[in-house]
Structure 1
Amino acid sequence: MMEVRFRDFNPFNCWIWMRFAQPAQVTEIDYINTLLDSWFILGRMGAFNAQNLQIHLQGYDINWMEYDNNLLRDSLGSSINAMSQPEFKDDWARCWIDLGEGDNIALDLLINALLHIDVNVVEIVELVIGGINDDWPVEDYPEDLLSLPL
């Protein structure tokens, strides 16, 4: 099962590292890329807003739940700013993110999705959030960024 570790974490300049049991194959890379692209788009559109978790906080029974639309409108933005294209090298993959105003719940949801990929698609030995790997130099801010207008 995938081990999750955190190193030095800067939400505006963060590398996410994945080490696989063996180098990822083309179809496995496609799954990882699609997941990260989807996660970024949701984050860019403000989906990871921990101030507005009304349904989650309601609990199991949401029949006839009264949704507070004022809370929805009044909650602060939570947009992720940018993400690099994932890179793959040997048994490692990495991706740079600028979480911007995105809440840390974004990381929980990413970890949950990667756990599903670990179990069903490709074995991820470890997921490391933050810091750098000494054997794979990084730029402060990668040039190949995904950023969508709001």
Structure 2
Amino acid sequence: MQIKFREFNPFDSWFWWQFSTTPSAAEKQYVEEVFRSWFFLGKLGGFNAENIQIQETGLDLNYLQYDEDYADQSFMALMHNMGEFEYQGQWGRCWFDLGTSDAIALDVLVNALRQFSKDYVEIEVLCIGGQNNGWSIDQDYSSFNNGDSYN
């Protein structure tokens, strides 16, 4: 799976993906569940790089002393909004306001989609940000007017 970054604004960003063939309804649903799961983790603050105490501990997690005060003092890193999924031929897209979530969120999404593409539904290209030739975006689409039920 090829990963491409375009102009990127974390508060107003489109994610585009190209399937290897025109996707079935079930294949669309599978991909949507990956994105929805990722978004819900982000909405709950799961992508907070300021508080990665467990990762920073290393391999030996035996009797790890998790510092709740440190966790409470870290800046909140929450995703804000998610748009509706749209499809055109082999392409799919969805709009996100990633809010204050950290870039680790993008690593997690890319890693998940790469494995998903190998095991379930082949995705040839994932484009993060920008626009896609031949498929215009509504300039009024924003975190204040996206009509999504996940907010």
In the superposition, the TM-score normalised over structure 1's length comes to: 0.93
AA in 1 matched with 2:59: Y
Distance of 1:71 and 1:109 partners within structure 2: 23
Q: Give the Cα–Cα distance (whole angstroms) in 2 for the partners of residues 82 and 146 of structure 1.
A: 9
Residue of structure 1 equivalent to 2:148: 145
CA root-mean-square deviation: 1.2
The 8 Å contact of residues 80 and 98 in structure 1, kept in 2 or not, is answered as yes
TM-fit CA distance, 1:73: 0.5
Aligned residues: 147
Query: Please, which runs of 5 or more residues in structure 2 have no aligned partner?
Result: none
Write out aligned runs for 1:57-136 (5 A): 57-136=56-135
Helix, strand or coil at the partner of 1:145: coil
Report the AA paired with residue 54 of structure 1.
Q
Q: Is the 8 A contact 1:81 1:147 kept in 2?
A: no
CA distance in 2, matches of 1:44, 1:102: 9
Structure 1 unpaired stretches of 5+: none
Moved over 6 A (4+): none
Q: Give the TM-score normalised by structure 2.
A: 0.92
